[in-house]
């Protein structure tokens, strides 16, 4: 009887340990799978999702769920407006797609920084982290940051012009038989393909051009420019090609 009781006691302890370990593993798996960022634990933001916990595996849909930021705004901020399903894009691709530009990096920390500025949440940005130029326009219109924060972010912004954006099925190849006409959905990449130079475009725009994957009309809307004032001189250039 003593042996049976001892054995039962040991078995009970083993089962308790296994159950505890299993609970920890299950809890960890649920945390990792739920894509729920950690919360601020104290201060005025206690209970709010912390952008510092955004990981590379998060998609734009995940970030939208956690922070209530429109997927369209995030996609536009990072030059991905024309993607067929921008919500499925994972943040970890930023380092591969954008990487180092003018000595600064667009990566996962850039999305953390953008979310923090958009929501007006405290965040310590890593040294060397940059925001894409279009993100500044989105933040100026929709963000909750202060003018000082916007000014600092603007100083750390870079142009996406020289980057290789994600190729999409919507991109159209052109040849000499195609009518070169600028329309609402015409992208910067199409204008370049037709022979217009970056210098010519920026002379018309009066500022740095948008990402190759961005439509000219969307760029104009983001920057408060009347589309017709850009369309007409660009069409003149195209007609003289």
d(CA 212, CA 189): 5
pLDDT digits (tens, 9 = 90+) for 29-66: 444 445 789 999 999 999 999 999 999 999 999 999 99
209 touches 219 (CB < 8 A): yes
Exposure string of 60-74, with b = 16+ CB inside 10 Å and e = fewer, is bbbbbbbbebebebb
Is the confidence at residue 113, as pLDDT, over 50? Answer: yes
**pLDDT digits over 157-211, tens only?**
988 765 544 443 333 333 444 457 888 788 888 888 888 899 899 999 999 988 8
| DSSP secondary structure string for all residues of 4-28 | HHHHHHHHHHHHHHHHHHHHHHHHH
Of the candidates 225, 203, 113, 220, the residue with the CA atom closest to the CA atom of residue 158:
113
Tell me what the pLDDT averaged over the chain comes to.
Answer: 81
Where exactly are the structural domains of the chain?
1-34, 51-158, 188-239
Tell me the DSSP string of 170-237.
Answer: T-----TTS-----TT-BHHHHHHTT--HHHHHHHHTS----TTSBHHHHHHHTT--HHHHHHHHHHH
**pLDDT given at position 58:** 95
Identify the sign of the CA torsion 14, 17, 21, 26: positive
Residues 6+ positions from 131 with CB-CB distance below 8 Å: 77, 106, 110, 113, 114, 153, 156, 157, 158
Copy the structure tokens of residue 163.
């980057």
Q: Whole-angstrom Cα distance, residue 166 to residue 67?
A: 25
**Mean pLDDT confidence for 87-92:** 94
Contact by Cβ (8 Å): 165, 97: yes
**If you average pLDDT over residues 79-94, what whole number do you get?**
89
Residue 71 CA to residue 114 CA, distance in Å, equals: 13
pLDDT tens digit sequence for 7-27: 545 555 555 555 545 544 444
């Amino acid at each position: 009887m003593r042996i049976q009781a001892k054995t039962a006691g040991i078995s009970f302890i083993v089962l308790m340990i296994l159950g505890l370990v299993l609970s920890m593993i299950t809890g960890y798996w649920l945390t990792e799978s739920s894509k729920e960022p950690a919360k601020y634990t104290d201060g005025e933001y206690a209970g709010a999702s912390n952008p510092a916990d955004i990981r590379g595996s998060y998609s734009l849909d995940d970030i939208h769920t956690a922070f209530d930021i429109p997927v369209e705004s995030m996609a536009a901020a990072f030059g991905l407006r024309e993607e067929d399903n921008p919500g499925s894009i994972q943040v970890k691709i930023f380092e591969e797609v954008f990487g180092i530009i003018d000595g600064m990096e667009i990566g996962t920390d850039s999305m953390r920084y953008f979310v923090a500025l958009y929501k007006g949440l405290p965040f310590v940005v890593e040294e060397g982290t940059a925001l894409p130029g279009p993100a500044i326009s989105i933040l100026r219109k929709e963000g909750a940051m202060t003018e000082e924060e916007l000014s600092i972010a603007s100083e750390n912004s870079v142009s996406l012009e020289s980057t290789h954006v994600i190729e999409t099925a919507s991109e159209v190849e052109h040849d000499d038989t195609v009518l070169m006409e600028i329309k609402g959905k015409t992208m910067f990449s199409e204008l370049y393909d037709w022979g217009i130079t970056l210098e010519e475009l920026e002379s018309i725009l009066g500022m740095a051009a948008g990402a190759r994957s961005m439509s000219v009309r969307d760029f104009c809307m983001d920057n408060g420019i009347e589309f017709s004032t850009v369309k007409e001189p660009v069409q003149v250039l195209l007609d003289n090609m």
